[in-house]
């Protein structure tokens, strides 16, 4: 490890209602691979966005190559030699490899693009990285792994001195990951500083020199990778004080009937052979890290996405759910993590949204029964304490928490027995959060059953009677709330095969 | 200003609609003053002029009503003009060449329109084609079929007082504009369907956020297709009112009417982004379009000026819609 090339000190960043970063410290040395770890929402991505000028910091200093710097956009950072290799590749599939690498700064011969020169320069870059890719190939013909290598080549073509890898291995096969690591070692040799963001413990142990851990927007500490164990890292990641009392034992009787049973569900790349049961009156928590396939699993159950195989049983009887229509008829409601896109119709009123799932129950002859519709909407606005001047208010004028209540109302109006809450409190302020929790507890008391996907550890521990943990599309564990610890969940959530 | 906007009656009709009614009055006064000046020896102020403008307003009005449903779902239908012509040509040819009874011919006209609605709706809703492309294609088909069916001849429906001419009473009977009454009745039905039934509610919600509606367990495809079917059906009805006013239909034409009908919609406050629609607005818009074309002709300009104006109106109305949406966000 060489001298320090980049230091971030005392970085603060707030968003309305959230302190995303709080006095964060982070440094990178030349020729080291420095892992940046933390749970979902710990602030890793925000920190990198502050570094590359996507966000403006509220406080703190960034020192790069001995000088204090501030970048206003990723372009400036790139010009200075700080480059991000994104998780999602930003490539144009129909262009060649070389054209992609030099997009926006093409070599020219007079008024024409000099493709020969670009191919030559790209070849030199690949040689430097010891990669065998033909620059003339069309991007979409390459595997994801090879595309990523092109992205890396593009990064070093900017004379990069610090390269940030944001979950680079998520879409790669084992062999491709080995290749990636060879390249990273090569970059290391060339004295670049490398930031490696990943959830995969085994990779952290294999490739990194140091590990910095963040938690809830704050810097926790830095360890030398060789000297620490996986448990040390997990402890730093989850060692937060949980203010809300976690549940200590399941509120559901052992012999409560199974209302929903899913067997060997497969759907696309993200859901592999998932089976689970939901009991009456239970809150079943789905824990896992980002991209674990939890949303995909429940969307497939709900019929929002296509299933490849698997059976669903409702109250012991096998049912076919091909579309959301089938699911809603069966009494299942789905509250999406992305309310604005999948939950509410923003430009319509609370009333119109509330009866959307069961409008056929609110018609008299061929007309919508306006009075009945308003009555039921009013009832649920009062019941859920939705804050609004009136039920004719457009949903777009409500706050996030109140929009969420409108979605809840929609499913309650339809009298759903099974509710899937996907990240029910994301983007909701603390007060409204509390109300959503109380509401969920109230619902299960009334005999409804809830599946709750949550990336917030505290939420999982506080609400669930039982917990299913997923990792990379597979179910890696299931346990009763009694005896669960954050560490156990985190182990299962990072358990790759 | 805010006070006026919040007035109960103003709110019920819509501020935008009230402004448009003002525009109608303004245009009428403008044309009345300018016509004798620009075109010596003529006048704009006459019962005949009004009836003539109304003749134009009828079929544009029916087309606009139909396309309002499609635009409400967030789609567009560029085929309505040629579909209307195909309806008029095919049914007229049946009437004049094959001596099919008149009532059956009127039903054929509506049926042809409906068929194109089914075609558009199927490809947009069930095959996920962009409505823009789908309706462009069916526009070509409609033009072609009309020509093929009539062997590229124009079709002339029976003139007044001839045998089988009672269909003309649909637009005018003893100098009473029956067409206006019928247009208002159909418009009222459309308004009820759009705002008081499940179909209309779903269409508007689909226009705002289709995926959220689908995830609420609604069969969005069915309702989206229905919007195109209503649109086609009304294009078939528009055809009857077109021939009622102008008797002769030429094959291979009709596409200029799409734009005028769509212009009527967007002027009336129906948002091209979907989710917001006004039936009353579309009717008022159709009247403005008709008044403008009457005025332009009365002042001695050619119809080409009308095309330029329609284009400008669409640009202005859509720009206004997008700007007001931006402000709200």
Residue of B nearest to A410 (CA): B216
Backbone angles phi, psi at B101, to 5 degrees: -55, 145
Topology (CATH level 3) of domain B14-28+43-318: ABC transporter involved in vitamin B12 uptake, BtuC (1.10.3470)
Please report residues of A whose CB lies closer than 8 A to that of B192: 367
A112 phi, psi to nearest 5 deg? -105, 155
Relative orientation angle of helices B279-298 and B304-328, to the nearest 10 degrees:
150
Best A301, A348, A390 residue to mutate vs chain B (most B CBs within 10 Å): A348
Average pLDDT, chain B: 92
- A345:B217 CB<8 A: no
Topology classification of domain A258-493: Rossmann fold (3.40.50)
Which residues from chain B sit within 8 angstroms of residue A334, using beta carbons? Answer: 215
Determine the angle formed by the axes of helices A115-129 and A174-189, rounding to 10 degrees.
Answer: 90
| Averaged pLDDT for residues B292-307 | 90
Q: What is the pLDDT of residue B279?
A: 96
Strand pairing class (A4-15; A18-29): antiparallel
Give me the CATH code for the A4-238 domain, please: 3.40.50.300
Contact B214 A363 (CB under 8 A): no
- Chain B: residues touching A (Cβ < 8 Å): 192, 196-198, 201-202, 204-205, 208-209, 211-219, 275-276, 328
Q: Calculate Rg over the CA atoms of chain B.
A: 20
- Determine the residue among B200, B212, B271 to mutate to test chain A binding: the one whose Cβ has the most chain A Cβ atoms within 10 Å: B212
Interface residue of A323, A327, A345, A361 to substitute, partner B, most B CBs within 10 Å: A345
Q: Burial of B312 by CB count in 10 Å (0-12 exposed, 13-18 middle, 19+ buried)?
A: exposed
- Say if the Cβ atoms of A359 and B276 lie within 8 Å: no
Residues of A in contact with B220 (CB under 8 A): none
Region of A176 please: left (phi>0), alpha (psi -120 to 50) or beta: alpha
Instruction: Give me A195's structure tokens.
Output: 């930031």
Contact present, B218 and B46 (Cβ < 8 Å): no
Q: What is the torsion angle, in degrees rounded to the nearest 10, for the CA atoms of residue A439, residue A444, residue A449 and residue A455?
A: 50
Q: Are the C-beta atoms of residues A283 and A463 closer than 8 Å to each other? A: yes
DSSP code at position B158? P
* Chain A CA closest to residue B206: A345
Structure tokens at A123: 């070849």
Rg (CA), chain A: 25
pLDDT tens, position by position, B204-249: 999 999 999 999 999 999 999 999 999 999 999 999 999 999 999 9
DSSP A394: B
Strand pairing class (A18-29; A418-422): unpaired
- Interface check for A374 against chain B (CB to CB < 8 A): the answer is no
Closest CA to A57 of A9, A8, A12, A10: A12
Nearest to A310 by CA among A275, A278, A338, A336: A275
Contact A392/A344 with Cβ under 8 angstroms?
no
Nearest CA in chain A to B192: A367
ipTM of predicted complex = 0.88
Contacts of B217 in chain A (CB under 8 A): 324-325, 327-329, 357-358, 414
Distance CA A35, CA A46 (A): 15
Torsion from C-alpha of B178, B179, B183, B186, nearest 10 degrees: 70
The pTM of the full predicted model, rounded to 2 decimals, is: 0.83
Mean pLDDT for the stretch of residues B313-328: 83
Instruction: Please name which of B267, B233, B246 lies closest in space to residue B112, comparing C-alpha atoms.
Output: B233
User: What residues form DSSP beta bridges with A479?
Assistant: A467
Residues of chain B contacting A372 with CB distance shorter than 8 Å: none
Question: How far does B321 lie from chain A, in Å, by closest CA?
Answer: 14
CA distance B204 to chain A (A): 9
Domain ranges of chain B: 14-28+43-318
pLDDT value at B327 more than 80: no
- Asked if B202 and A359 come within 8 Å (Cβ–Cβ), the reply is yes
The confidence score (pLDDT) of residue B136 equals 95
C-alpha dihedral (A162, A163, A165, A171), degrees to nearest 10: -170
Interface A-B, measured as beta-carbon pairs within 8 A, has a size of 74
Record: contact B208-A348, CB cut-off 8 A: yes
* For B211, nearest residue in chain A (alpha carbons): A342
Nearest CB among B198, B205, B213 relative to A368 is that of B198
Residues in chain A within 8 Å Cβ distance of B275: 345, 347-348
**Residue B216 with chain A: CB contacts under 8 Å:** 324, 328, 356-357, 410
Which residues of chain B lie closer than 8 angstroms to A343, CB-CB? 212, 215
When scoring A329, A356, A360, A404 by the number of chain B Cβ atoms within 10 A, the one with the most, hence best to mutate, is A356
Percent of chain B whose pLDDT exceeds 70: 99
Contact check, Cβ <8 Å, B218/A396? no
What is the C-alpha separation between A97 and A132, in angstroms, rounded?
12
Mean pLDDT in order along chain A per 10 residues (497 residues): 90 82 94 89 87 92 93 90 81 90 87 92 89 90 85 87 87 81 91 90 90 91 90 79 71 90 94 96 92 92 96 96 96 91 93 95 93 95 89 88 91 94 82 85 94 90 94 93 89 81
Tell me the nearest-neighbour CA distance from B273 into chain A, angstroms: 11
**Quick check: A323 and B219 CB within 8 A?**
yes
User: What integer pLDDT is reported at residue B325 of this predicted model?
Assistant: 78
B11: closest CA of chain A, how far (Å): 14
Cβ-nearest to A342 among B205, B215, B328: B215
**B36 is written with which tokens?**
């004798």
DSSP state of A73: S
Contact: A325, B219; criterion CB under 8 Å: yes
Contact residues for B95 (Cβ-Cβ < 8 A; gap 6+): B102, B105, B157, B158, B164
Residue A201 token pair: 């413990």
What residues of chain B lie within 8 A of the CB of A346, using their CB? 208-209
In sequence order, the 6+-apart residues with CB closer than 8 A to the CB of A67 are: none
**Which residue in A300, A302, A324, A390 has the most chain B C-beta atoms within 10 A of its own C-beta, making it the best mutation to test that interface?**
A324
pLDDT of residue A42: 82
Does position B284 have pLDDT exceeding 70, yes or no? yes
Residues in A touching B6 (Cβ below 8 Å): none
Q: What is the pLDDT of residues B31-42, one digit of tens each?
A: 999 999 888 888
SS3 label, residue A198: coil
Block residue for tokens 């206006």: B180
> For B58-96, what is each residue's pLDDT tens digit?
999 999 999 999 999 999 999 999 999 999 999 999 999
pLDDT at A244: 62
- In a mutational test of the A interface, the residue from B203, B213, B217, B272 whose CB has the highest number of chain A CBs within 10 Å is B217
Looking at residues B278-300, what average pLDDT do you find?
A: 94
Nearest CB to A324; choose among B196, B205, B217: B217
Domains A4-238 and A258-493 share a fold: yes
């Amino acid at each position: 490890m060489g001298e320090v090339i980049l230091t971030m000190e005392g970085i603060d960043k707030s968003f309305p209602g959230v302190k995303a970063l709080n006095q964060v410290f982070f440094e990178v040395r030349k020729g080291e691979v420095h892992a940046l770890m933390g749970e979902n929402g710990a602030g890793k991505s925000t920190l990198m966005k502050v570094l590359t000028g996507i966000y403006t910091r509220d406080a703190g200093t960034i020192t790069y190559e001995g000088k204090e710097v501030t970048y206003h956009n990723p372009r400036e950072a790139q010009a200075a030699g700080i480059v991000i290799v994104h998780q999602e590749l930003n490539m144009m599939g129909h262009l060649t490899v070389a054209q992609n690498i030099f997009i926006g700064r093409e070599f020219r011969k007079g008024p024409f693009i000099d493709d020969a020169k670009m191919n030559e320069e790209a070849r030199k870059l690949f040689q430097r990285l010891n990669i065998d890719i033909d620059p003339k190939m069309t991007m979409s013909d390459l595997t994801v792994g090879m595309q990523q290598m092109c992205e890396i080549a593009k990064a070093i073509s900017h004379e990069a001195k610090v390269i940030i890898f944001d979950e680079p291995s998520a879409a790669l096969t084992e062999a491709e990951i080995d290749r990636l690591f060879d390249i990273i070692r090569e970059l290391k040799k060339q004295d670049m500083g490398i930031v490696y963001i990943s959830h995969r413990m085994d990779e952290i142990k294999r490739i990194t020199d140091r590990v910095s851990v963040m938690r809830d927007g704050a810097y926790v500490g830095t360890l030398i990778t060789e000297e620490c164990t996986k448990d040390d890292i997990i402890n730093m990641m989850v060692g937060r004080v949980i203010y809300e009392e976690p549940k200590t034992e399941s509120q559901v009787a052992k012999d409560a009937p199974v209302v929903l049973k899913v067997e060997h569900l497969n759907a696309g790349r993200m859901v592999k052979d998932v089976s689970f049961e939901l009991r009456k009156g239970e809150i079943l928590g789905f824990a896992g890290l980002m991209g674990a396939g939890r949303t995909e699993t429940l969307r497939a159950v709900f019929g929002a996405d296509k299933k490849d195989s698997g059976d669903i049983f409702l109250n012991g009887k096998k049912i076919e759910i091909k579309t959301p229509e089938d699911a809603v008829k069966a009494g299942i409601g789905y509250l999406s993590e992305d309310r604005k896109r999948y939950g509410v119709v923003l430009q319509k009123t609370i009333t119109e949204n509330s009866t959307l799932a069961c409008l056929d129950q609110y018609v008299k002859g061929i007309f919508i029964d306006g009075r009945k519709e308003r009555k039921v909407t009013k009832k649920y606005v009062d019941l859920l304490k939705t804050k609004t001047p009136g039920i004719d208010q457009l949903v777009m004028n409500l706050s996030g928490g109140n929009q969420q209540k409108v979605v809840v109302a929609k499913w309650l109006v339809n009298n759903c027995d099974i509710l899937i809450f996907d990240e029910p409190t994301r983007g909701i302020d603390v007060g409204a959060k509390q109300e959503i929790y109380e509401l969920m507890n109230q619902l299960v008391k009334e005999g409804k059953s809830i599946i709750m996907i949550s990336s917030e550890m505290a939420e999982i521990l506080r609400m669930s009677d039982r917990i299913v943990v997923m990792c990379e599309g597979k179910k890696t564990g299931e346990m009763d709330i009694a005896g669960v610890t954050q560490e156990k969940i985190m182990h299962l959530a990072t358990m790759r095969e | 200003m805010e006070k006026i906007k919040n007035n109960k009656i103003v709110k019920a009709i819509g501020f935008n609609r009230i402004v448009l009614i003002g525009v109608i009055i303004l245009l009428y006064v403008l044309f009345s003053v300018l016509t004798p000046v620009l075109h010596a020896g003529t006048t704009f102020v006459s019962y005949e002029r009004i009836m003539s403008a109304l003749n134009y307003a009828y079929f544009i009005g029916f087309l606009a009503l139909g396309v309002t449903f499609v635009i409400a779902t967030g789609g567009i239908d560029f085929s309505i003009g040629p579909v209307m012509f195909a309806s008029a040509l095919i049914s007229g040819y049946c009437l004049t060449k094959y001596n099919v009874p008149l009532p059956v011919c009127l039903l054929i006209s509506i049926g042809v329109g409906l068929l194109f609605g089914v075609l558009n709706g199927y490809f947009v809703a069930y095959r996920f084609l962009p409505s823009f492309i789908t309706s462009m294609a069916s526009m070509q088909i409609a033009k072609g079929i009309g020509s093929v069916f009539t062997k590229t001849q124009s079709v002339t429906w029976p003139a007044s007082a001839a045998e089988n001419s009672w269909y003309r009473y649909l637009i005018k009977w003893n100098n009473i504009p029956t067409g206006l009454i019928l247009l208002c009745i159909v418009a009222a039905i459309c308004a009820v369907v759009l705002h008081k039934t499940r179909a209309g509610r779903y269409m508007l919600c689909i226009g705002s956020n289709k995926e959220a509606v689908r995830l609420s367990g609604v069969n969005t495809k069915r309702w989206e297709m229905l919007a195109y079917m209503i649109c086609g059906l009304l294009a078939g009805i528009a055809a009857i009112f077109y021939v009622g006013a102008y008797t002769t239909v030429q094959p291979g034409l009709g596409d200029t009417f799409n734009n005028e009908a769509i212009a009527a919609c967007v002027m009336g406050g129906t948002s091209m982004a979907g989710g917001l629609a006004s039936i009353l607005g579309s009717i008022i818009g159709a009247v403005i379009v008709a008044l403008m074309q009457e005025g332009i002709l009365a002042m001695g300009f050619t119809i080409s000026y009308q095309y330029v104006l329609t284009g400008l109106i669409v640009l202005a109305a859509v720009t206004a819609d997008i700007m007001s949406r931006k402000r709200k966000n």
